[in-house]
Structure 1
Amino acid sequence: MPQARCNFCGRTHAEVRHLVAAENGVTHICSDCVARISDVLERARPKSPALARLPTPREIKTTLDQYVIEQEEAKKTLAVAVFNHYRRLQNPDAGLQKSNILLVGPSGTGKTLLAQTLAKSLQVPFAIADATTLTEAGYVGDDVENIVLRLLQTADYEVEAAQRGIIYLDELDKIARKSEGVSITRDVSGEGVQQALLKIIEGTICYVPPQGGRKHPHQELIPVNTENILFICGGAFEGLDAIVRSRVDVSKVGFNAAEAQSQGVAEVVPDDLMKFGLIPELIGRLAIIVQLQELSLDALMRVLTKPKGALVKQYKELFALEGVELKFTEAALYEIARRAQGRGTGARGLRSIMEKTLLELMYEVPGSDVVRLVIDEGQLDHPHTVLMQAERRKTA
C-alpha cells in the first residue's frame, strides 16, 4: 500500500509533524503547508481601511465642508485631530498617545453629522451611542461594553477593523454628576457611568457579549482592545456658558476677554467641565475640546439647500420619483429657517418643519395628475392652496 503523502509538498507522514486527510481519504495536507497557506492568505488579505492612504487634514476638512455648514474652526480642529490619530496608528513605534475628542455645542449644530462624515471619509467602522442609556454594571440599562458591541456589529464582527473604528457618544453632558463633591450614594447614570466609560475610552480589553445585553458567567465573549478606537463625545452642555462667563470676568480681565465674550467664542477649559460635573479623569482622556457655534439664520437657509444630502434636495428627489417637480421660493426657505431658529434646535428643527409642511402633499400627490408644485411663504401652513395652484398633466 503506497504511503500517504502531502498533495502540496509531496512529503510523507514520517517527514512532517502532522498529515491531515480530507474526507475522501485520498487527499492529504501537512501541517507545514497549512502554515504556509495561512501566511499567504494573511498577506493577501486587504489591509484595514484605517491603514490605507490617509487623507491630509486639508482633504478631510474639504469633505466636511461638503456636508456641514459653517463651524470652520471646529472642522479644522477635527481634521487635524483625526489625521493625527490615524497617523499614530500607522506608526505604532512612535510612542504617541491617543487624543479623544469632545464636541461642545447647542443642539442642531452638526456634532453627530461631523462624526459620521469623518468616519465615512476615512472608511472606518462607525457607531453612535447615547450616554443617557448607560448605567453602572448591575443596574437596569446598557453596560458600557454595548457601545463597543455596536461598533463591532458595523464592522461585521471583524475585530481588527473595529479596533480602528470611531465611536460617537452623544449626550455626554447628561451623565454629569449632580454635585461637585464626591458622591457617597449610588449615581447609576452619572458619576458611576463616567468611571465605567473611562476604562474603555483610555484603552482596555473589553469583553463583549455577541448578542448584547448583560454578561453572564457561561456566555461566550469577544475580546476587543479599545486602545486605538477613537472616541468622539458630544453634548449641548446647557449651563456651561454661565460657568465660562463667571470665569472670564469681563470687568477684571480686560478688553481681549470682553471682545471674545461679546463674540461668543470664550474658550471652554477643563476646569469649566469639572464644575459642570465631569470627573477629572474623564476630562483628561478627552484632550481635544471642539466648540461649535449656534447656527445663524443665513446658515440655516444654506443648510436647507447647499450641503450634500440637503433637505430640499432630498424632498425634491422624493417628489421626482412620482414625476413631480418641487420648488420652494426664497421667501418660503427663509420662513422655514426662521421657524427652526425660533425653536432653538438648529438644523435639527428644519426636518420636522419640512415634514409637517409637506405631509399633506406627500399624501395627495402619488397617483395624481400633478407635475409641478411651488411652495411660497404663505403656503407653509396651507398645503391645500399649493395643490389648488399645482401644475397638472394635460389631457388630450
Structure 2
Amino acid sequence: MKEIQALKPRGTVAELDKYIVGQSDAKRSVAIALRNRWRRQQVPSPLREEIAPKNIIMIGPTGVGKTEIARRLATLAQSPFVKVEASKFTEVGYVGRDVESMIRDLLEIAISMVKTEEKQRLEGIAAAAAEDMVLDLLLPPTPKSASPLTDTGPDGSKSFTLVGHEDQMPLVGTGHESSTRDKIRQMLRDGKFDSRELELCLDESKSMPMVEIMTTSGMEEMQSNLQDAFSKIFPRKKKKRRLKVPEALEALKQQEMERMVDMDKVMKEALRRTEQSGIVFLDEIDKIASRQSGSSHGPDVSREGVQRDLLPIVEGATVSTKHGLVKTDHILFIASGAFHVSKPSDLIPELQGRFPLRVELHSLGKEEFVRILTEPENALTKQYIALMATEGIDLSFDDDAIEAMARIAVE
C-alpha cells in the first residue's frame, strides 16, 4: 500500500492511462490529490491534522469516464471506495436515506477489505490446520480403527466423520504413528485421497431474520443494530456436509481463517483507513442543485436541504456507526455531474467552497472510441478475443470494423 501511494502524479496518470482513454486534466487532478495524501502523511503530527484534502468536482456528460477514474484511483491507492448517487438522499426528517449512510457504507467496505487481507495473511496457517484436521480422520487415533490405507472407514463405509476438537480423543504419540502420519500427509498432498468423501461438521452461515425499517432518515443505524443483535441471539449452528477431500480441505481452511481473524484488530485498521484514505464518489450532484437562484418552493427546497446536510460531512464531522466514531475531515470527496440544466454555481456557496477543484471532461469522438476499443488493457475487443479463445475460436478485429463500430457509437 505504501509503495503504491508513493507514486508520483506522473506515475499515477500512467497507471490510469492503461484503462482510461483521454481526459488528461481529470487524471492529473486526481493524481495530485492522491500524492497530496502521501505528502500529508510525511508532515509532523500537529500540522498534519490541519491539512484538509482538496475535493474535486468532475463536470461532463454521461459515459466519458468520471466514475471509472475515481474507481481506478481507489484501486491504485488500495483505499476504501464507495459510489453514491446524491439524488438518492433526502433531507433529515423525510423518508429516505440520510447522508451519513454513505460514511457507514464506506466503513463496511473498509472492514471487508481489511478482513480479506487478514485472511490472506493467515491462509498458510489455516491450510496447515485444515490439513491436520483431515489427517486426524485419515489416521484414527485408536489402535482398533481400520488402517488409513484401506478403502473403508471405521464403520465399513467409504466416508469418515470429522467432529469438533472437544470430541476428539488425544493422539497416541508413538514413533510408529508419527511415521505413518507423515506418509499419510504426503499421500494427501499428492492427491491419493482426492476421490474419498468426508463427512464434516461445519459452521453454518449466519442466518437471521430480515429487519427493515421504513421510516425517517437517521433510523438506518437502528436497523443495522437490530440485525446485529439478532445475529447474536441466533448463534451459528453446526451442519453436516459430505465433501470430497479437496473440497473438505478448502471448507476447513475457510472456517479456520474465519476463526483466526482478530476482529478487534480488523476494526481498528478499518476505522483508520476510512478516516485517512477513504474516497467517496458523489454522482449526480447536479440533481440536487437548485435550478433557479433564490428559489424557495417546490422540489428546490428539498434539494437545498440535502446540500446543507452534505455540507458538514464534506467539511469534516464525526459520524456515529455501530463500529465506532468516524471522522470525515480527511476523506476525499469526488463529485460529478453532467450539469446540463443546472450549473456548479447553483450549488449553495458553502458547498461550492468545499469543492475547490473543478475539472471538465470533454465528450468522446470517433478517435477516442477507436482508442477505447483497442488501447486499454480491459478493452472490449480484447475481452471478446479472450472469451472466444475459450471455445477454440481465433477472433480478430480489422481496423475497418473497429472504425465502423466507433462511428456507430458516435452516431
TM-score range relative to shorter protein: 0.5 to 0.7
After superposition, what is the alpha-carbon deviation per residue over 1:201-250, rounded to whole angstroms, capped at 9, x for unaligned?
11100123xxxxxxxxxxx464211111100011111146xxxxxxxxxx
- Structure 2 CA distance for aligned equivalents of residues 133 and 321 of structure 1: 41
Normalized against structure 1, the TM-score is what? 0.59
- Residue equivalent to 2:337: 235
One-letter code aligned to 1:160: R
Contact 1:132 1:189 in 2 (8 A): no
- Residue equivalent to 2:280: 167
One-letter code aligned to 1:291: E
Partner residue of 1:296 out of 365, 368, 373 = 365
- Structure 1 CA distance for aligned equivalents of residues 406 and 35 of structure 2: 34
Identity of aligned residues (%): 41
- Structure 1 CA distance for aligned equivalents of residues 354 and 370 of structure 2: 36
Q: Which structure 2 residues correspond to residues 30-179 of structure 1 after superposition, within 5 A?
A: 49=1, 53-91=5-43, 92-94=45-47, 95-156=50-111, 158-163=270-275, 164-179=277-292
One-letter code aligned to 1:233: A
Q: 1:314 to 1:149 in 2, by over 3 A?
A: farther
Q: Which structure 2 residues correspond to residues 1-396 of structure 1 after superposition, within 5 A?
A: 49=1, 53-91=5-43, 92-94=45-47, 95-156=50-111, 158-163=270-275, 164-181=277-294, 183=296, 187=300, 189-208=302-321, 220=322, 222-239=324-341, 273-274=344-345, 277-342=346-411
Give, in angstroms, the shift of residue 167 of structure 1. Answer: 1.0
Q: 1:182 to 1:120 in 2, by over 3 A?
A: same
* SS in structure 2 at match of 1:120: helix
Higher RCO (CA < 8 A, seq sep 6+): 2
* SS in structure 2 at match of 1:290: strand
Q: 1:90 to 1:186 in 2, by over 3 A?
A: farther
Give, in angstroms, the shift of residue 134 of structure 1. Answer: 0.9
After superposition, what is the alpha-carbon deviation per residue over 1:87-120, rounded to whole angstroms, capped at 9, x for unaligned?
2244253343321111111111110111011111
Give the aligned length: 250
- Structure 1 CA distance for aligned equivalents of residues 309 and 3 of structure 2: 29
- Structure 2 CA distance for aligned equivalents of residues 120 and 180 of structure 1: 38
Contact 1:85 1:98 in 2 (8 A): yes
Contact 2:370 2:403 in 1 (8 A): yes
Q: 1:226 to 1:68 in 2, by over 3 A?
A: same
One-letter code aligned to 2:348: I
Query: What is the root-mean-square deviation in Å for CA atoms of aligned residues?
Result: 2.2
- Structure 1 CA distance for aligned equivalents of residues 2 and 359 of structure 2: 23
- Residue equivalent to 2:188: none
* SS in structure 2 at match of 1:190: helix
One-letter code aligned to 2:403: Y
Contact 1:135 1:188 in 2 (8 A): no
One-letter code aligned to 2:68: L
- Structure 1 CA distance for aligned equivalents of residues 15 and 305 of structure 2: 37
One-letter code aligned to 2:344: L
Normalized against structure 2, the TM-score is what? 0.57
After superposition, what is the alpha-carbon deviation per residue over 1:340-364, rounded to whole angstroms, capped at 9, x for unaligned?
222xxxxxxxxxxxxxxxxxxxxxx
- Structure 1 CA distance for aligned equivalents of residues 89 and 41 of structure 2: 29
Q: Which runs of 4+ in 1 moved over 6 A?
A: none
- Structure 1 CA distance for aligned equivalents of residues 94 and 409 of structure 2: 38
* SS in structure 1 at match of 2:370: helix
Give, in angstroms, the shift of residue 331 of structure 1. Answer: 2.2
One-letter code aligned to 2:32: V
Give, in angstroms, the shift of residue 81 of structure 1. Answer: 2.5
* SS in structure 1 at match of 2:307: helix
- Structure 2 CA distance for aligned equivalents of residues 117 and 138 of structure 1: 35
Q: 1:59 to 1:186 in 2, by over 3 A?
A: same
